[in-house]
Amino acid sequence: MIRVLIQTTSSLTRAGLESVCRQDPEIQLVRSSSDADVVVADELPDTSELLGSVPLVLISSTLPLDGLRFGARAVIPTDARPAQVVAAIRAAAVGLVVMAPDDLTNLPRPGTDRLAEPLTARELEVLDMMAEGVSNKIIAYRLSISEHTAKFHVNSIFAKLNVRSRTEAVTRGIRLGLVKL
């Protein structure tokens, strides 16, 4: 049984999603995120409403990578068929990532943008933390290193990625497949 919470901005959308979910005997609708195995929503929740480890199925016309970057496990178009919605819920419940086939053509292709010098394992850890928006001080604390060493790693990442800011570093890291979404 997959327990599903539906969070939508439209009562019509909610009714449609509830109808689709009720047609599947393996899906049970719940009213609280603490009871849910999967949340289906038509927009990303505010940071104050983050769902923790509950997978999010986002039904949206926005860019799928944006949805995945901000925590959605599945991003499907607003015109998805009922069977696609159910399949996305089932996939998200078992930990899979779901995107519409047409959206796959917009993904960066591996090997099209290479680094002259690869990032070290420690630099990859630092880059992941930069993607979380963590400061050098917090990076230092988490890695049990000095703040000076953390700054050194950040500057080394900038040089290897040929960027000037943390935002550029994270963006390039995502394009290169170095940042885990």
Note the pLDDT of residue 105.
59
Q: Which CATH number fits domain 121-175: 3.40.980.10, 1.10.287.130, 3.30.465.10, 1.10.10.10?
A: 1.10.10.10
| pLDDT grade for 48, boundaries at 50, 70 and 90 | very low
Domain residues of the chain, as ranges? 2-106, 121-175
Asked if the model's pLDDT at residue 18 lies above 70, the reply is yes
User: Could you give the 3-state DSSP secondary structure of residue 109?
Assistant: coil
Residue 51 in this model has a pLDDT that exceeds 60: no
Query: Which tens digits make up the pLDDT trace of 136-169?
Result: 999 999 999 999 999 999 999 999 998 999 998 9
H/E/C letters for each residue in 43-77?
Answer: CCCCHHHCCCCCCEEEECCCCHHHHHHCCCCEEEC
Report CA-CA distances (Å) from 89 to 37, 60, 86. 9, 14, 5
Q: Please determine, for residue 124, whether its predicted confidence score (pLDDT) is greater than 90.
A: yes
pTM of the predicted model as reported, rounded to 2 decimal places: 0.58
Contact in structure between 71 and 56 (CB atoms under 8 Å): yes
Nearest to 172 by CA among 162, 153, 156: 162
Take residue 98 and report the two structure tokens written for it: 């779901």
pLDDT > 70: percent of the chain: 83
Q: In the CATH scheme, what is the homologous superfamily, with its name and number, of domain 2-106?
A: Response regulator (3.40.50.2300)
Chain centroid offset of residue 16 CA: 25
Contact present, 57 and 20 (Cβ < 8 Å): no
* pLDDT of the residue at 54: 85
pLDDT digits (tens, 9 = 90+) for 82-118: 999 999 999 999 988 888 766 665 555 555 556 778 8
